[in-house]
Amino acid sequence: MMWLTSKSLRFLSNVKYSNPLAALVVLMAVAILALLPNVNAQPLPDTPTVQLESSPQWQQTLADAKGETVYFYAWGGSKPINDYLRWAAREIASRYNVRLRHVKVADISEAVSRLKAEDGSKSAIDLLWVNGENFSYLKEQRLLLGKLWSSIPNSALLATQKLPLKNDFGVPIEGFEVPWGVGQFNIIADEGLLGESEQNTVTSSIILAAAKQNPGRISYPRPPEFHGTTFLKQLLVDLSNKDKRLYSAATSQAQDDLLPLLWDYLDQLHPLSWQKGNAFPSSNTEQLSLFQQKQFVLAVSFNPNEMAKEKNEKRIPTTSQRLYFAQGAITNSHNLAIPKAAQNSAGAKVVINFLLSELAQKQKLNGSWGDPSVITPLLDEASTLPAQQELHSSWQQVIEDKWQQKYGA
């Protein structure tokens, strides 16, 4: 049944009827309908997002942002990501008169070092793509602008009920950064390379067996490149049987107990690896390229949709498999943060708000990047993998430093 709008009710009430009985019937019906709840009505949205966008605070932010150039320090090692940011820059310029400049870095620690050197003075950095131990350090040193979730309207869309978005490597976010996407560690491999598994899972022992059967054709990105470090963390979770100490601060005792498991394993894996473990791919992009050229039999990824994108572009065989570690894929959000000393913080907020919009999140998910969305309207549970909690941020630095001492020379 289609319910009448208030405008329609007023119209029927004002119509002049030639038959008095018909007029009485219509007026009685109008009176009854006016008292009934309009169950199918679609009121104007009054969500927190809309409220914030119409607030004087946000309108002032938009006004302040006009004409600003936002220098966005972000990883530059992926063509699909770089293409996406170029698209976003065009959209932001045309919609808000804000220029977005992608400052490409090999590792975001470069930007963290710059902020540390600036020591609170006006920063050359307006926006950061950051997470993990870098976020932990910046928050601890009070180098980040706070209250972002409450001041950026589209933060209200974040899928906090379904995704672990309130903590970053065990550190509460507390408004000092805004989740932008979700990463899940997975392996793209030749069909049947790592055995037949209905669940598409893999273990450290299966990888070692594959390395023995394919000498020189397995490797991982050189830490501290984050794909390489995450591979080491996945191995450690598997080798330690998911020891609970990995999810709290890395004490000396915990390191002494757990890290030898990883080093003993790598001592077996490296002689069977590419360049016999004396060299490593510089990034997952280089590793994927070697996989595409059939020099490698596997590549690592932090994007659960990457394999599908590679198949669609016919860059890898259609028979390739996506695998994840049996304990679950290490999962974390990647985030956007604004330095406290940023010179164009209003423009940076406008950029973040756009990147969290349905338009931008849909382009990120369905375009060449394929990065999963973090907002409720676009939550794509079908493309995600069973999740494994990220290790405490302190383990990241410990693993990278110790690895460098043992294998980095």
pLDDT at 25: 45
Residues 158 and 211 in one domain: no
Whether the predicted pLDDT of 177 surpasses 60: yes
Residue 254 and residue 401 in one domain: yes
Measured between alpha carbons, how far is residue 40 from residues 3, 4, 33, 377 in Å?
7, 10, 13, 21
What does the pLDDT look like over 65-82, one tens digit per residue?
Answer: 999 999 999 999 889 899
Instruction: Tell whether 119 is covered by a domain.
Output: yes
pLDDT of residue 359: 97
245 is a domain residue: yes
In a domain, 10, yes or no: no
- The pLDDT of residue 9 is 39
In 14-91, which ranges are E strands? Answer: 69-75
Strands lying side by side in the sheet with 298-301: 201-202, 321-325, 186-189, 298-301
* Whether residue 378 sits in one domain with residue 337: yes
1 pLDDT exceeds 60?
Answer: no
Any domain includes 31: no
pLDDT band at residue 292 under the 50/70/90 scheme: very high
The CATH number for 210's domain is 3.40.190.10
Q: What is d(CA 122, CA 129) in angstroms, rounded to the nearest whole number?
A: 19
User: Same domain for 307 and 340?
Assistant: no
pLDDT at residue 3 is higher than 70: no
- The 3 state secondary structure assigned to 241-281 is CCCHHHHCCCCHHHHHHHHHHHHHHHHHHHHHCHHHHCCCC
Is residue 128 located within the same domain as residue 163? yes
Specify whether 273 is located in the same domain as 146: no
Residues 94 and 210 in one domain: no
Q: How far apart are the first and last CA of the chain?
A: 76
Residue 330 parent element (H or E):
strand 329-337
Q: Are 208 and 321 part of one and the same domain?
A: yes
The rounded distance, in Å, linking the Cα atoms of 402 and 407 is 9
Does residue 5 sit within a domain?
Answer: no
- How many whole angstroms from its chain centre is CA 400? 22
The dihedral through the CA atoms of 400, 401, 403, 404 has a sign that is positive
204 and 319 inside one domain: yes
Same-domain status, 347 and 203:
no
- Confidence at 51, pLDDT banded by 50, 70, 90: low
| 80 or 43, which is more confident | 80
User: Is the pLDDT assigned to residue 220 strictly greater than 90?
Assistant: yes
Q: Is residue 88 part of a domain?
A: yes
User: Is 94 inside a domain boundary?
Assistant: yes
pLDDT of residue 251: 97
Minimum mean pLDDT range among 24-28, 136-140, 160-164, 318-322? 24-28
The answer to whether position 283 is within a domain reads yes
Expressed as residue numbers, the domain containing 302 is: 186-331+391-407
For residue 74, what pLDDT is reported?
97
397 plus 255 within the same structural domain: yes
User: What is the total count of domains within the chain?
Assistant: 2
222 and 321 in a single domain? The answer is yes
3-class secondary structure, 210: helix
- Adjacent-strand bridge partners of 87: none
